[in-house]
Amino acid sequence: MSKPSIRRQPKTTGKGIPANSTANPKPTFKFGDKIGEYLINGFAGVGATSYVYRARHETSFEHVAIKVLHPHLLSDKIKRTRFIREAQMMMDFDHPNVVSFHRILDEADNLAFVMQYIEGVTLEEWLKQNKGKAEQEEVLSIFVDLLRGLNHAHRCGIIHRDLKPANILISKLDDENRSCATIIDFGVARFADLPIPAEDRKKIVGTAAYISPEEVRDPETVCAASDIYSIGVMLYEAICGVRPFEGLGVRELMKAHVNSEPLRPSEVNPELNARLEGVILKTLEKTPDQRFQNVTELIDAIECATRAEVFKSRTAIWDTGRGLEPTDGASGFFRQALATASSLFFGRRTSSPMIEKLDDLSL
């Protein structure tokens, strides 16, 4: 579970439980407490409607994460319905890049669900830790992981609606010594083949910095391509070090996503290759039908851009070793061929009136 967008995660004691006992709402459990067949042994995260704890099964000793609805929301029909719906959505997930669901715990004073525990940091934290240090290939590898998980969710008929770095966990694969991305927190997700829930029809949900234009214009029209837009914002941020739109309040951010053009990524990061820039810009098209039409297309485009960058690097080394100028010989020919290969085409930008209700929107 991610930390909230505009709050810091509570400070914790040595046992991993929030130290501020006056926090509102107060943590549901402390170290050593029991819920169902699970013993609480740490604190994992906090959101607007729930806490997430580390726990282990009392007999199998399996380590899990348990997401617990804040007690004061148990009587809130809408929040309770959303919480149960999130668990129901996760039941069908079976993919290494999507957090897996175990079971629902519905007790007298608690509503919770048990899920996979992943040791790692959020992509938000990872990008801060590796700013200016991560190789582009590693960043793109993480995004391909993320997209494979998203493709699985879409195939299960789920639209996430709140993809952002804080909702992606990065862990290390012991057998491969590489970073792996896992999608978490489906709290505002929807079923693609069902009408939008009544409680969400007049609300904008998600996070303003990563929200799609159609979420702002009309939440009824949110689709799989809306998640692709959010991925585009994240990819821009990961490659350029800044988001497409920064330094704006919530309303200004939403207007920018609907109406404004971001700086071209190459203006922010001059070392960016043209093919990857084209990929990023296509994900950020204002209308869904101008973006990649499915996640598989986007994965293919990223992998193609990655191969082009690797080829460019290797031919540069080859040229240096042979004392050739960058445009000399076969390598120059192939670089020229890459530079003039099929380009990505973009449609017109559109704008639409703003929806005024911002109930579930955060920075």
Distance CA 284, CA 270 (A): 19
Pairing type for strands 38-46 and 50-57 reads: antiparallel
Asked about 300 being catalytic, the answer comes back as no
For the record, the structure tokens of 231 come out as 């991925």
CA distances from 167 to 99, 163, 179 (A): 11, 6, 16
Rounded to whole angstroms, how far apart are CA atoms 212 and 232?
10
What sign for the dihedral angle of Cα 313, 303, 272, 160? Answer: negative
Query: What does each C-alpha distance from 90 to 154, 199, 263, 341 come to in angstroms?
Result: 12, 20, 37, 41
Catalytic residue among 33, 92, 162, 300: 162
Closest CA to 279 of 210, 228, 327, 221: 228
End-to-end Cα distance, the chain: 17
Query: β-pairing, 205-207 with 360-362?
Result: parallel
Q: Which residues are catalytic?
A: 162
